[in-house]
Amino acid sequence: MKRIHTIFPLALAAAALIHGSCSGASEQSTTAASADTAENTYPQITHATKAPMIETDSVHWADTLVIGKCKAKALVQGRYPTAGTTRLVDSVRQWLADNLSYSMQDTGQQLFRPTPAELASGQKLVARSGKALLESARNDFEDFDTEGYSMSYEYSYSFGPIYETDSLLTYSFSGYIYLGGAHGGALGSGQTFAASTGRKLNDSDIFQPGKEKEVIRLVKDALWQQYFKEGSEEGATLKDALLINPDTLRLPQQPPLFCKDGLVFTYQQYEIACYAAGMPSCVLPYSAVRPLLQKEIARLIVEPSI
């Protein structure tokens, strides 16, 4: 389950593509980890709507844990829903809580179970998340300190709305974790919600039955043209860029995001390519995917004006 920290620039390409597609921004950083507030974490949200469907407040929590020669830093920040269409607000809050309450270490471990009071207050929720992350570090550090080891951990989570229309709301969530070793790990995900109901839109909701192969073909071509081709050696193909056979490519684990310029598809680190490739992403224009969409989904789209 579970945007991107400034110390791993290789992952920024995917984030820039997502933000540029959703906001129209040409070049944006996802998370300023040293910032004191979350005000500038995200580019200005793109509104193709008469009035915002939700209102949000900036929330921020940061702290450091030191035990002996071991040090852990945690930062959790973003924009949390405070008011708006009830079902939409509740759905976004629950989705954020699900992301913030689980570890990024692929263990499936839930660090804490959010309470109703924490769901109602973004500041309480990010504080609970940050404290839980540092507590998980404490368990390791107490053992390391006994052995006289030196270790540094770092955790960074950020989130916020990146695209909104009268019909759709897209939220982004990013995580970074460093637990020693050669490099840390990142996760860049998001979720689009139907504004009137709060329903989360996933692959099976978005595309017509039997159209997956056609979607994958478009994604495969766009990945090469938009993400991998530039800087590749002459004569190289998508096969040279991936850890897998392109013929076996599937849609990303995370659902595509509805943004200003189209549907954004993002693969996580190691999902299809090596760590150095970051998080491969591409944008499929709405004009290209509209024939493949469920009719009720196609009606929700506001195509960009020329």
Q: What is the band of 223 on the pLDDT scale with cuts at 50, 70, 90?
A: very high
Which has more pLDDT, 186 or 112? 112
**What is the tally of structural domains in the chain?**
1
* Helix/strand/coil for 36: coil
Helices (H), the chain: 12-23, 86-100, 116-120, 122-147, 203-206, 212-222, 238-241, 286-289, 295-298
Q: Residue 109's pLDDT is what?
A: 80
43's tokens: 């580019």
What is the domain extent for residue 68?
1-306
Element spanning 118, H or E? helix 116-120
Least confident of 6-10, 46-50, 110-114: 6-10
Q: How far apart are CA 212 and CA 255, in angstroms?
A: 13
pLDDT, tens only, 137-158: 998 999 999 999 999 999 999 9
Q: What is the band of 28 on the pLDDT scale with cuts at 50, 70, 90?
A: very low
Q: What is the band of 102 on the pLDDT scale with cuts at 50, 70, 90?
A: confident
User: Could you tell me which residues come within 8 angstroms of residue 217 by beta carbon, excluding any fewer than 6 positions away?
Assistant: none
DSSP secondary structure code for residue 182 in this structure: S
Task: Tell me: pLDDT of 208 over 90.
Answer: yes
CATH code of 54's domain:
3.30.565.40
Q: What is the band of 38 on the pLDDT scale with cuts at 50, 70, 90?
A: very low
Q: For residue 179, which amino acid is it?
A: L
Task: Tell me: pLDDT of 56 over 60.
Answer: yes
Mean pLDDT of the chain: 85
pTM, 2 dp: 0.83
* Helix/strand/coil for 258: strand
